Amino acid sequence: MPNVTLTVDGTQVTVPKGTTVVEAAWKAGAFVPTLCHDPELSKPGACRICVVEVKGARNLVASCVTEAVEGMEVQTSTPAVIEARKTILELMLDNHPEDCLTCHQAGDCKLQDYAYFYNVKPGAFGGESHQYELEDDNLFIVRNMNKCILCGKCLRACEEKQGRAVIDFAYRGFKTKVTTALDQPLADSVCVSCGSCVAVCPTGALTEKAMLGKARKWEIEKIRTTCPFCGVGCNLDLNVKGGKILGATSNPASPTNGRDLCVKGRFGIDYVHSPKRLTKPLIKKNGAFVESSWDEALDLVATKLGEIKNKFGSDAIAALSSARCTNEDNYVMQKFVRAGIGTNNVDHCART
């Protein structure tokens, strides 16, 4: 692929043809803020906060949708650029709730970060604020449309990444909002609660219900692990505070799945602290299940299998494995049955 060379804030940078100006600027080490941009999604050029000056252009250009060309000269922090970005932020903040002190997203909110960076405060235009009711009808996701900045990342993730198109823009002007078909509650839509919308939201408009109000963002320790629900091997980050798992979030650096997780992986980790969870083996004594040690339980299984094999033969025993296990666990299972017990009666729930 051919390359192009351009100048960003006086620094020459060479990038593959087709690279956008914002990507070239980042490669050159320049700071260009973005809200609607996402490398995995289409580029709508919606928020306009990424505007830059390009020599020869009549107006400021949105760098996330402008292709870098040979010899282009770009300035990312001129007075005109800074003024435009501050005005855009002021317009957003005038329609935004002023509850950063209590907002669950505080500390991990791009709108908040940029407002502090450019020293922008609400009230510059005296704009009207939305008064939408909090939407918590979904089992896993809380939607606060008062905090939505209409970047469109959630609906693009839903349509382009998941192929669902459950949500889209509705109404016009100030009344524009992201909603489901016929503006129905999320719980009544065809949403499968994968949470991809939550993963890309840059503000507090979308929140994981299980973690809402449980900890501030800077108090959470994120521990990378592998999702236990199937054999795909998706990575996720356990969100831990005080030694307790509050929930799970996806990580774009995950090699298997990126930010994509199913409803179980993203929202099903609460079983870890469930009082109904079995933490010790149970064996039946006198007609009732009682807790036992692993050694006692495994000895009992080995004894019973041995009795069946001696009395009825190896083919009287069969094993059914699960896609919820890792490939290694499934290999050990079939090896145990074939080599240890001496039968080929092995099946798997994903065989069909």
Residues 146 and 239 in one domain: yes
| CATH code for the domain in which residue 72 is found | 3.10.20.740
pLDDT at 14: 97
Query: What per-residue confidence (pLDDT) applies to 190?
Result: 94
Domain boundary among 247, 273, 299: 273
- What is the model's pLDDT at position 180? 96
Copy the structure tokens of residue 75. 């300035």
**What is the Cα Rg of the chain in Å?**
27
Query: Do 204 and 103 form a contact (C-beta atoms < 8 A)?
Result: yes
Do 259 and 304 reside in the same domain of the chain? no
**pLDDT of the chain, 352 residues: tens digit per residue:** 799 999 999 999 999 999 999 999 999 999 999 999 999 999 999 999 999 999 999 999 999 999 999 999 999 999 999 999 999 999 999 999 999 999 999 999 999 999 999 999 888 888 788 999 999 999 999 999 999 999 999 999 999 999 999 999 999 999 999 999 999 999 999 999 999 999 999 999 999 999 999 999 999 999 999 998 887 889 999 999 999 999 999 999 999 899 999 999 999 998 899 999 899 999 999 999 999 999 999 999 999 999 999 999 999 999 999 877 878 989 999 999 999 999 999 998 777 5
Length of the chain: 352
> 73 with 133, same domain?
no
Query: Could you count the other beta carbons within 10 Å of the beta carbon of residue 57?
Result: 12
Considering the domain architecture, whether residues 140 and 259 belong to the same structural domain is answered as yes
Same domain, yes or no, for 287 and 227?
no
Provide the whole-model pTM.
0.85
- CATH of residue 170's domain is 3.30.70.20
Beta strands in the chain (DSSP E): 3-8, 11-16, 51-54, 61-62, 73-75, 141-143, 167-170, 177-180, 206-208, 221-226, 235-241, 244-249, 282-285, 288-291, 319-321, 346-348
Which of 273, 304, 324 is where one domain is finished?
273
Q: Please say whether the dihedral angle defined by the alpha carbons of residues 52, 58, 59 and 63, taken in this order, is positive or negative.
A: negative
Q: Which two tokens stand for residue 188?
A: 């009544």
Q: What domain range includes position 319?
A: 282-348
Cβ 30 vs Cβ 76: under 8 Å: yes
Number of domains in the chain: 3
Q: Could you identify the residue written with the tokens 């500390």?
A: 107
pLDDT value of residue 64: 97
User: Residue 143 is which amino acid?
Assistant: R
